[in-house]
Amino acid sequence: MRQSLRQNYDAVVKRVADTTQQTLDEVNSMPATTSMNTSFMFGSTHILEACRGLDELFRQQADVLPSMQRLDDDVKIAMNSVAKIKEEFFSVVCAKLKLVSELQSSIVEFETHLGILKDALAYQKLQFAELKHIELLPQDNVEDPPNELQLLKQRCHALERQVETLQQELDDQHKASCHCDDSYSNSSRYMELHGWSRVSCIEDGSSLSASVETGPVGPKFPLVLALAATAGHSGTMNNSSEMLKENDTVRRLKDAVYEKDSKIGHLEDANSTLHDTVRSLQFSMGMQRNWLKKVVSVLNVENVDLDSAEGLHECLMHIEDKWKECTAAAVAPPLAATAPAAPDVSVSSDADASSKIAFRSFSYNDLALFLPTFAPTDVNAPKIYLAFHLGCPNRFLSDESITTYYQMNTRYPEYILGRIVFIDERVASERDNPYRLIAGTTFFVLTVTFLVDF
């Protein structure tokens, strides 16, 4: 419709242009006297034709809207009919799609079953191929196959007979020859080259295994041994399904045994780790007890039981008392007795609390007693100091503290009494294990300020 309107508009414009040009040409060709009269006539004619074209164009434009409405109504009717048809066929399409889905599921199940049957057929063919070997065996071997021990005995007897035959030949040669030594050496060399030795087949299993190992033993006939395992059960040879069930049962039992063995292995590893930990703790406690005995002997503390917790606590109390006496004697002024000051109860109680040696737990500003973990033969050899404790192991004195003391005194003390100023918590690993602990063990490195050392 738009194209037809455009064509009409172009036709009217062209007509007006042609008539205008024609009028101008006629006016120019006429004389001047008559041009005025004719120009009005041609102009009115051209205007009339242009108006007629415009009227025709307006009529066509007026017809466009009704035609568009009619086309819109036709389109609506067609779409409604399509919607009705779609609604009618929707249920049919859904049913067809559901049927197609069921068919696809059936095809997948069929392919799965077909694959299982193919595998079963291949396994069955393999079993039949193995069973074909039974037909080639003698009937007595099929009915009553020999076991492995009997086969080994037979091989041993055959080897003995062969050795006896060779020995007889060598004896004959020995009799015919005058050189006994040469004959004997040749016979020995001949037997060694052929890998034979004189064996005596005894019914005992140990002697039988030894004779089999010294002589050249042939194949053990694995098929015969397999038949021997199923001797007396002909049904298992004929029914492959029962064989499959037995194989599955054996496989499950093997898996269970393997899991049990693995669990036992893990438990044994854990048990060995615990034993190592207990041994290391016992060693540390023994070393601490030995060094504590030395400290007790140096301080002249009597009637101390180091085998019980109460005795250890009492020993520490005696060590604290000795330390207090030494500290008081070193710090007290010479004229303190002449001018005694009034004691402060709160200050004395705080001093007593801060002067106690910590051994059940360690924190900042606690007083700790450190003992060397071993006694090297060289006095100047470096030592590792472990905090005396009860139930909280792996508290080591830092290397900085030990180095500082050694630089100040050029020796390593028998024990160190110091106040904790820093605690570094670490975990033993392959890269960080200065004290050779078990991997994963948590240990603490304590930095102290020295108070008393011997």
Provide the number of structural domains found in the chain: 3
Is residue 103 domain-shared with residue 185, that is, in the same domain? no
DSSP string over 82-101: HHHHHHHHHHHHHHHHHHHH
Amino acid at 25: D
Q: How confident is the model at residue 78 (pLDDT cuts 50, 70, 90)?
A: very high
Domain span holding position 159: 137-229
Secondary structure of residue 415 in the 3-state scheme: coil
Interhelix angle 240-299/309-331, nearest 10 degrees: 40
Q: How confident is the model at residue 80 (pLDDT cuts 50, 70, 90)?
A: very high
If you average pLDDT over each of 8-12, 175-179, 321-325, which comes out highest? 321-325
Is residue 100 domain-shared with residue 180, that is, in the same domain? no
In a domain, 238, yes or no: no
Is residue 316 domain-shared with residue 434, that is, in the same domain? yes
Mean pLDDT for 197-226 is: 42
**Gap between the Cα atoms of 20 and 42, Å rounded:** 9
Token code pair at residue 37: 């009269």
Is residue 168 domain-shared with residue 55, that is, in the same domain? no
Contact by Cβ (8 Å): 424, 450: no
Q: Decide if pLDDT at 263 tops 50.
A: yes
* Secondary structure E strands in 256-311: none
In a domain, 243, yes or no: no
Residue ending a domain, among 107, 130, 153, is 130
Amino acid at 183: S
Query: What secondary structure letter does DSSP report for 392?
Result: -
DSSP string over 332-367: S-TTTTTSPPPPPHHHHHHHHHHTSBP-S---TT-E
Provide the pairing of β-strand 442-453 with 416-427. antiparallel
Pairwise pLDDT comparison (147 vs 65), residue with the higher score: 65
Q: How confident is the model at residue 261 (pLDDT cuts 50, 70, 90)?
A: confident
Q: How confident is the model at residue 425 (pLDDT cuts 50, 70, 90)?
A: very high
- What contacts 161, CB < 8 A, 6 or more positions away? none
Contact by Cβ (8 Å): 446, 399: no
pTM > 0.85: yes or no = no
Is residue 73 domain-shared with residue 213, that is, in the same domain? no
Query: What secondary structure letter does DSSP report for 195?
Result: T
Pairwise pLDDT comparison (343 vs 77), residue with the higher score: 77
Q: Decide if pLDDT at 402 tops 80.
A: yes
The residues facing 371 across adjacent strands are 386
Is residue 124 domain-shared with residue 203, that is, in the same domain? no
Is residue 156 domain-shared with residue 11, that is, in the same domain? no
**Mean pLDDT score across all residues of the chain:** 73
Name the nearest CA neighbour of 441 among 274, 293, 261: 274
Q: Decide if pLDDT at 33 tops 60.
A: no
Pairwise pLDDT comparison (229 vs 83), residue with the higher score: 83
**Gap between the Cα atoms of 327 and 417, Å rounded:** 12
Pairwise pLDDT comparison (318 vs 32), residue with the higher score: 318
Is residue 415 domain-shared with residue 289, that is, in the same domain? yes
DSSP string over 135-172: HHS-HHHHHS---HHHHHHHHHHHHHHHHHHHHHHHHH
**Gap between the Cα atoms of 112 and 124, Å rounded:** 18
- Determine the Cα angle at 247 with ends 245 and 253, to 5°: 105
Is residue 114 domain-shared with residue 157, that is, in the same domain? no
Is residue 301 domain-shared with residue 438, that is, in the same domain? yes
Q: According to the model, what pLDDT value does residue 139 have?
A: 59
**Cβ atoms < 10 Å from Cβ of 241:** 9
Q: According to the model, what pLDDT value does residue 74 have?
A: 92
Q: How confident is the model at residue 446 (pLDDT cuts 50, 70, 90)?
A: very high
Q: Decide if pLDDT at 345 tops 50.
A: no
Residue ending a domain, among 115, 130, 145, is 130
Is residue 184 domain-shared with residue 286, that is, in the same domain? no
If you average pLDDT over each of 32-36, 311-315, 355-359, which comes out highest? 355-359
Backbone φ and ψ of 266, nearest 5°? -60, -40
Mean pLDDT for 163-172 is: 81
**Gap between the Cα atoms of 117 and 123, Å rounded:** 10
